Amino acid sequence: MSREKDTPPKGHEVIQKYLKTIDSSPGVYRMLDHESRVLYVGKARNLRARVSSYARPTGHTARIARMIANTASMMFLTTKTETEALLLEQNLIKQLKPKFNVLLRDDKSFPNILVTSAHDYPQIKKHRGAKKEKGAYYGPFASAGAVNRTLNQLQRVFLLRDCSNTMFESRTRPCLQHQIKRCSAPCVGKVTPQEYQQTVKDAERFLSGKSTDIQARLAAEMNAASEEMEFERAAALRDRIKALTQVQTAQGINPQNVTEADVIALHLENGQACVQVFFIRANQNWGNRDYYPRVGADVDAAEVLEAFIGQFYDTREPPRQLILSNEIENPDLMAEALTGKLGRKVELIVPKRGEKAELVDGALRNARESLARKMAETATQTRLLKELAEAFDLPAPPARIEVYDNSHIQGTNAVGGMIVAGPDGMMKNQYRKFNIKGEELTPGDDFGMMKEVLHRRFKRLLKEDPDRSRGMWPELLLIDGGAGQVSAVAEIMRAHGVQDIPMVGVAKGVDRDAGKEEFHRVGKRPMALRHNDPVLYFVQRLRDEAHRFAIGTHRAKRAKAVGATPLDDVPGVGAGRKRALLAHFGSAKAVGRANLSDLKAVEGVSDALAETIYAFFHERG
C-alpha cells in the first residue's frame, strides 16, 4: 500500500465530504479535531453555503486556515430560523468553550436593588440571583460596590430600613442606623406606616429617575414645616434635601436623553480585546464593567462585538437600547433575538453624533485605558511566571498554579481552600473549597486534612479530565507548609499515579517571619530566595490569597453552624417555616417544649406539620 493512501485527508477535504449530506437549512455547525474536541461553533442562514466556504483549500485568514487544518469531523443541527441558530450558537459557545471562537470569560450575575413589598415597612437591600422575592427590582448595577454606594445614598435621603424582618420584629429600641440618621426607626414606631410608605414611594421614584420632583416636594414640605414652627421637622427635611443634592452631584454626568441602555464599546489591540459596558437606567449611570474576551490575532471588531453581545445577554435581560461603538455582522438578527428574549423591542444603535456618541466615546476611552493596564499587568505576570520557573527548576512557566491551605479552630469546621493563578492573574472562577469530611482524622491534623483535600482533587481530575486535554490540571502545586505537608501530598500523588507535577511547600522561616520563607521540594534540600526577590513577593501573594480564601470559607461555615438549630433536622421545615417558628416561640428550645395546639397556631404551619414537629421533639430516644 502506498504512503499517499495512509495520509489522512486534509481539513478542507474532510469538510467537502459533508456537503453531500447537508441542505440549505439554517442551523449550527461544530468543527471537531481528531480527538473529538470542539474547535469551533458557528451559525448559518444556509448551512450548505457556509460549510462550502470552508471547503476551499485557500483564501482564508491565518486563524481560519489553522482551524480548517485541524478539523477531522463536523456535527450539524438544523433550526427553524436563523434567530434560533444564533441563540443556539451562543449557548453552545458558552458551554463548550471552543478554541477558535471569541469567548466571553466572565459570566458573573449583576446585583440589583430590591424594595420588598411583603411587609408594612418595606426593606431596601442588595439582591443577586433569581427574582423570587416579592418587591420592586432596580438594576442591574455594574458591581456590588455600585449597589452599596447607591444604598448608602438612599438611606441618607429616604431613611429606609435595611435590617431583616427577624431583626425588625425583635427590636425594642432604635439601632445605630437611626442614631447616624440612616433609618427612621419604624421598628419602634418613630414613623407612621403612612409616612414610611411615602418615603418608599420617593425612593422608588428616585430609582426611576424622578429625583427632581422629589426635591421640589421636600422643599415645599420644609417651607410648610418652617411656617408652622415645626423647626425640628424642617431641619430634618433640609438634611434630606442636602443629602439628595449630594447624591445627584456624586453621580457625575448622567445622560438627559437616554433612559434605559447599555453602552458597549470595544477596543482591539495586538490580538487582545477589552469591552467596556456602561449601565444606564432611569437616566442614571449605574456603573461600568470591563471584559476581556478571548480573541484571535486576526478577528475583526464586528465578529468580536457580535459574539460578546450574544454571550453576554444569553442569561441576562437586555435593556431597550444597546448603544455600540461598532457595527456588528448581523444587527437585525441580533435585535430580533434580543427582542424575543425581552418581550419588547430592543434597538441596536451605532451613534455618529450627539449625546449617545459622547457616551460611546467615554466608554471607548475607558476600554482603551483598561486594556493598556491589563496588558501591562499581563506582561508583569508573564515575567514573574518565567522567573518562578527558573527559581524552582520548572520545565516551563506554569500556565496554571494551584495553591492550597486549610483553616479550622482546634479541628472544628475544618475546610480546605484551593486558589488558582495563571498568566492572567488570579483565576477566581476556578477557586474551590473542600469541607473536610474525614471522621477518623484527629482534630487539628493538618497533614491528614491536606491529604484528604489533594486526594479528592486528583480523584476528580482523573475522572473529569483523564487525558489532560481540558486545561484543568495544575502545572505547579504550592502547599502551605514544610517537609511534612510536602511528604503527605507526595504520598497522595503517588497513590493516584500522578508524579509529574512539580510541588513546592512554602514554610514560614525563622520566627515565622515573612521574607524568610523556606521552600521544600521532594528529594531536594530546603531553599530560600533573596529577601527582595520579586518571585518571593509573588509566592507570598499567592500564599496570602489562599489563606484569605480558606479563612473566609471557614468563617462562613462556622457562622452557618452557629445559626444551626435542631429545627434544621425536622422534615418539612425549611428556612421560611424555621423563621416563623423562631419568631413565634423565641428559640428552638421553646419550640421543642411547645404543645401541639401551640404549634398549630403558628402561621404557615399546617396541622400535619405541627404533628411532625411535635413527634420529632417528643418521640426521640
- One DSSP character per residue, 468-514 reads S-SS-S-SEEEEES-HHHHHHHHHHHHHTT---S-EEEEE--GGG-T
Show me where the domains of the chain are located.
3-96, 113-250, 260-373, 401-560, 566-618
The architecture of the domain spanning 3-96 is 3-Layer(aba) Sandwich (3.40)
- Give the distance from CA 284 to its chain's centroid: 23
pLDDT at 1: 43
Q: Which residues neighbour 317 within 8 Å (Cβ) at sequence distance 6 or greater?
A: 341, 342
Instruction: Give 199's contacts (C-beta < 8 A, 6+ positions apart).
Output: 158, 159, 160, 184, 191
Give 2's pLDDT tier (boundaries 50, 70, 90).
very low
- What rounded mean pLDDT belongs to the chain? 85
Q: How many Cα neighbours within 13 Å face the side chain of 435?
A: 8
Instruction: Compute the distance between CA of residue 589 and CA of residue 583 in angstroms, rounded to an integer.
Output: 13
Contact 235, 247 (CB under 8 A): no
DSSP state of 19: T
Q: pLDDT of 439-477, one tens digit each?
A: 666 666 777 888 888 888 999 999 888 888 778 899 999
Is 1.10.287.3610 the CATH classification of the domain at 566-618?
no
Max avg pLDDT among 4-8, 291-295, 480-484, 551-555:
291-295
CATH superfamily name and code, 260-373: UvrC, RNAse H endonuclease domain (3.30.420.340)
pLDDT tens, 30-54? Answer: 999 988 889 999 999 999 999 999 9
**For residue 514, what pLDDT is reported?**
59
Give the residue among 549, 519, 551, 555 at the shortest CA–CA distance from 535: 519
- pTM score: 0.73
Is the sign of the CA dihedral 563, 565, 571, 572 positive or negative?
A: negative
| 260-373 against 401-560: fold identical | yes
Q: Give the architecture (CATH level 2) of 401-560.
A: 2-Layer Sandwich (3.30)
